[in-house]
Amino acid sequence: MTDIIDSDYLVIGAGGMGMAFVDELITQTTATITIVDRNHRPGGHWNDAYPFVRLHQTSTCYGVNSTPLGKATIDQVGWNKGCYELASGSEVVAYFDQVMRQRFLPSGRVRYLPMCEYRDDGSVVSRVSGTEYSVRAKKIVDATYINVTVPSQRPPKFKVLDGAVCVPPNAAPKLAPEYSKFTVVGSGKTGIDTCLFLLEMGVAPADITWVMPNDAWLFDRFTVNPGRQFTDIITAGRIEVLKAAIAADSVDDFFQRVLACDQLFQFDPAVKPTNWRCATVTRLELEQLRKIPNVVRLGHVQAVTPTEMRLDQGTWKTAANTLYIDCAADGLKNRPQKKVFDGNRITLQTVRMCQQVYSAGFIGNVEANLNDEARKNALCRPVPLPHAANDYLRCAIQDSENMLVWLTEPKVVSWINASRIDLFSPIFKFDCPVVGPQIEAMGALLQQAIPKMQALLDQETAQA
Ligand SMILES: Cc1cc2nc3c(=O)[nH]c(=O)nc-3n(C[C@H](O)[C@H](O)[C@H](O)COP(=O)(O)OP(=O)(O)OC[C@H]3O[C@@H](n4cnc5c(N)ncnc54)[C@H](O)[C@@H]3O)c2cc1C
């Protein structure tokens, strides 16, 4: 039996992006929406996250626009001291569940189909009952395109031999008491979180080995704290980066200038970062991480045994009773960029750098308020995903170009001004006495900085 559902929108994926998009439609339109997800509850990858995961941006601007997440508290203790609270994974999951149950479903306009698979032929099938749904929708919204992967969703990419024990970080809290040494494989956000978790639980730094195939530039979380009391910091930071680009005579010089004005950190001052993944840390977290003496820079792990790791560039002996923790999933894989609006299909992508959920809300606002497809796409040009260090410049170029277009669209400017989830909304507040004069300069700076950033990248390509 096929159940037929008529709906204005079919949204595939109830992760953060699908939820943020739908929230705008509920607030700003009268549309009906069917949401399909193969998980049993909303929140996407947060359902599979390790138990000690936290947002790495502040709760104050994460989630859906209509519903605050957290209490906008500034942490007084711990290594995030001085910055806004960071929701834990379970808070994020509970939050999206509440948004679904207390806002979306009671609106009477949302039909939610959990544990249902959307198939390439357009059909929707329940994974438990086998019921088929035929959703006749005017528009299809792909909220799966970013395709986040976390370590617990797949086996390790390297071989685990001869009885070595290798687990995703999800198992670390339960298993840690049984081991005396820990090898953390991967240096992205998950690897950072896992090292900090072990240190916070009292593991001695010398008992941790950290496999760091690449060093990455890290954001100083303090400089991306949203909110009025941080407005001048966030604005000044943005301006410093643009000025750094204008003054730099090479990509390396640009990074040194950004480093000097405290917008980025590097883990080891002696090692030039080759990556940038949008991860944030505080100064206190960085101090802790730097206490780990055994940092293995021999490329990627090929195989682990109870006594050694085999890596691209050599072998590393491991102590007896080592627990390997696999933190090496590539959270955001590069996929070709698509038009966000293409006929009756909307593909949610990042339109502000490092801000997927925000971007989905932004696209929802554009969908709710504008009709002309070309104009909508001009406002929603995808920003590259962050991988290599130079992507920082690539992202900054597209991000800045987008910002210039956004400033020309009143429906966008007023949404940003009022937006809870806009990390940078304070810098758009022309009426804000703290930043008003700086904003005047911002447009001119962007105009100067964009071609300069491109020239720096071109110069590096020419020299390669
Ligand atoms: C550890 C970690 C921390 C992060 N912290 C932040 C942060 O602080 N701030 C920030 O902005 N971003 C952060 N991110 C980035 C993160 O990608 C976004 O926050 C956001 O959660 C991504 O949501 P999504 O909806 O794109 O993807 P997902 O969460 O992966 O959701 C996609 C959904 O689609 C469903 N789906 C896929 N295919 C199908 C199908 N065929 N049929 C039915 N359902 C399907 C899946 O079941 C899933 O529920 C973090 C990412 C990670 C991994």
In tens, the pLDDT along 110-120 reads 999 999 999 98
Nearest CA to ligand 1 atom 48: 44
Predicted confidence band at 432 (pLDDT cuts at 50, 70, 90)?
very low
Find out whether the beta carbon of 406 lies less than 6 Å from any atom of ligand 1: no
Find out whether the beta carbon of 361 lies less than 6 Å from any atom of ligand 1: no
Task: Express as a percent the part of the chain with pLDDT over 90.
Answer: 76
The predicted structure's pLDDT at residue 246: 94
Predicted confidence band at 228 (pLDDT cuts at 50, 70, 90)?
low
Predicted confidence band at 445 (pLDDT cuts at 50, 70, 90)?
confident
The predicted structure's pLDDT at residue 430: 45
- For residues 387-415, give the mean pLDDT: 90
Residue 165: helix, strand or coil by DSSP? Answer: strand
Q: Tell the residue number behind the tokens 């009025």, with chain if given.
A: 228
Q: What is the pLDDT of residues 359-377, one digit of tens each?
A: 999 999 999 999 999 999 9
**Identity of the residue numbered 352:** R
The predicted structure's pLDDT at residue 99: 98
The CA-based dihedral angle spanning residues 21, 402, 408, 446, taken in that order and rounded to the nearest 10 degrees: 150
Q: What is the pLDDT of residues 381-396, one digit of tens each?
A: 999 989 999 999 999 9
Q: What is the pLDDT of residues 138-174, one digit of tens each?
A: 999 999 998 787 888 889 999 999 999 999 999 999 9
* The 3-state secondary structure of 339-374, one letter per residue: CCEECCEEECCCCCCCCHHHHHHHHHHHHHHCCCHH
Q: What is the pLDDT of residues 168-223, one digit of tens each?
A: 999 999 999 999 999 999 999 999 999 999 999 999 999 999 999 999 999 999 88
Residue 9: helix, strand or coil by DSSP? Answer: strand
Residue 385's nearest CA partner among 425, 449, 338, 446 is 338
Find out whether the beta carbon of 191 lies less than 6 Å from any atom of ligand 1: no
Find out whether the beta carbon of 13 lies less than 6 Å from any atom of ligand 1: yes
Mutate to test the pocket of ligand 1, among 10, 17, 90 (most ligand atoms within 8 A of CB): 17
Q: Taking the CA atoms of 96, 97, 103 and 108 in sequence, report the sign of the dihedral they define.
A: positive
Give the distance, in angstroms, between the CA of residue 14 and the centroid of all CA atoms in the same chain: 16
Distance 38 CA to ligand 1 centre (A): 13
Q: Report yes or no: 35 and 112 within 8 Å, Cβ to Cβ.
A: yes
Find out whether the beta carbon of 88 lies less than 6 Å from any atom of ligand 1: no
Q: Is the pLDDT of residue 226 over 70?
A: no
Find out whether the beta carbon of 169 lies less than 6 Å from any atom of ligand 1: no
Task: Express as a percent the part of the chain with pLDDT over 70.
Answer: 93
Distance 330 CA to ligand 1 centre (A): 13
Nearest atom of ligand 1 to the alpha carbon of 42: 49
Residue 386's nearest CA partner among 274, 282, 260, 262 is 274
Predicted confidence band at 34 (pLDDT cuts at 50, 70, 90)?
very high
Summary mean pLDDT of the chain: 91
Predicted confidence band at 426 (pLDDT cuts at 50, 70, 90)?
low
**Identity of the residue numbered 163:** G
The predicted structure's pLDDT at residue 148: 82
Domains recognised in the chain with CATH numbers: 2-149+333-396 (3.50.50.60), 151-215+268-326 (3.50.50.60)
- For residues 88-92, give the mean pLDDT: 97
Q: What is the pLDDT of residues 313-336, one digit of tens each?
A: 999 999 999 999 999 977 666 778
